[in-house]
């Protein structure tokens, strides 16, 4: 049985959404964000103690992009994207890698400038540069999605799930919008899928991916 280590409403959302899309059987372990040693099996699944982490028998997979690509292989024919040897496989790998190594990390200067400098006076400049980078990523995404419903064209995949989650993170800011009309329409399309709506419910998230109950994770108090 697949076992997902998660913190509801965090980037483990993408992994859970993929499991839901595939109709997979899985169990979850709710990690306490500030007491990550509470679940001893968590460190075994990911020594970095970050979510998502996935256990599949003797196999342990972590890093959002790796977990998503692993699930494509593990759950073939379940709308998660082309498997090895199928058309579109290279494009899928390119999308997931870009989302993982470029767009995912691009939020850090905005959400956590304190991780990049000890000097509080530097936070504003770091955030400003962060917005500029994100603007450029938004323009790139608009061009990539032009005239296609999904990242891979006509085929839905885990890339759409990952992009959906990252686009949703714009809502951590009051007024920032990543990309333009194309990306907004993509967000609506992905968000309307029953499995994605179900994952939002399971993760206690509204349509903007904001937690209904910020004080809870997995239904339990995090205080």
Ligand X SMILES: N[C@@H](CCC(=O)N[C@@H](CS)C(=O)NCC(=O)O)C(=O)O
Q: Which residues bind ligand X (CB under 6 A)?
A: 7, 10-11, 33, 50-52, 63-64, 100, 104
Rounded Cα distance between 191 and 187, Å, is 6
Q: In the complex with ligand X, which residue's Cβ is closer, 81 or 155?
A: 81
Rounded Cα distance between 122 and 102, Å, is 22
Cα angle at 197 between 190 and 56, to 5 degrees? 90
Q: In the complex with ligand X, which residue's Cβ is closer, 20 or 155?
A: 20
E strands along 13-105, which residues?
Answer: 26-30, 53-56, 59-62
CB neighbours of residue 126 within 10 Å:
18
Closest contact distance (angstroms) between CB of 51 and ligand X is 4
Closest contact distance (angstroms) between CB of 192 and ligand X is 24
Rounded Cα distance between 50 and 160, Å, is 22
Q: In the complex with ligand X, which residue's Cβ is closer, 18 or 51?
A: 51
Q: In the complex with ligand X, which residue's Cβ is closer, 49 or 127?
A: 49
Closest contact distance (angstroms) between CB of 173 and ligand X is 16
Q: In the complex with ligand X, which residue's Cβ is closer, 6 or 157?
A: 6
Closest contact distance (angstroms) between CB of 175 and ligand X is 22
Burial of 187 (0-12, 13-18, 19+ CB in 10 A): buried
Closest contact distance (angstroms) between CB of 15 and ligand X is 9
Long-range contacts of 168-174 (CB under 8 A, 24+ apart): 168/208, 168/209, 169/107, 169/111, 169/209, 171/208, 171/209, 171/210, 172/107, 172/110, 172/111, 173/110
Closest contact distance (angstroms) between CB of 130 and ligand X is 16
Q: In the complex with ligand X, which residue's Cβ is closer, 63 or 155?
A: 63
């Amino acid at each position: 049985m697949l076992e997902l280590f998660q913190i509801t409403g965090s980037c483990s959302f993408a992994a859970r959404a993929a499991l839901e899309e595939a109709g997979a059987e899985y169990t979850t372990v709710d990690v306490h964000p500030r007491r990550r040693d509470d679940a001893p099996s968590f460190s075994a699944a990911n020594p970095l103690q970050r979510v998502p982490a996935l256990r599949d028998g003797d196999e342990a997979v972590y890093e959002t992009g790796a977990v998503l690509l692993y699930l494509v292989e593990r759950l073939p024919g379940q709308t998660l994207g082309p498997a090895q040897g199928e058309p579109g496989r290279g494009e899928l790998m390119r999308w997931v890698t870009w989302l993982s190594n470029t767009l995912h990390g691009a939020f850090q200067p905005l959400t956590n400038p304190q991780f990049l400098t000890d000097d509080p006076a530097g936070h504003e400049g770091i955030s400003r540069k962060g917005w500029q980078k994100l603007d450029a990523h938004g323009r790139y995404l608009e061009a990539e999605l032009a005239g296609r419903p999904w990242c891979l064209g006509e085929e839905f995949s885990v890339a759409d799930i990952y992009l959906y989650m990252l686009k949703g993170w714009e809502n951590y800011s009051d007024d920032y919008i990543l990309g333009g009309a194309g990306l907004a329409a993509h967000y609506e399309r992905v968000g309307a899928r029953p499995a994605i709506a179900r994952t939002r419910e399971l993760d206690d998230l509204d349509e903007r991916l904001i937690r209904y109950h910020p004080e809870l994770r997995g239904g339990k108090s995090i205080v």
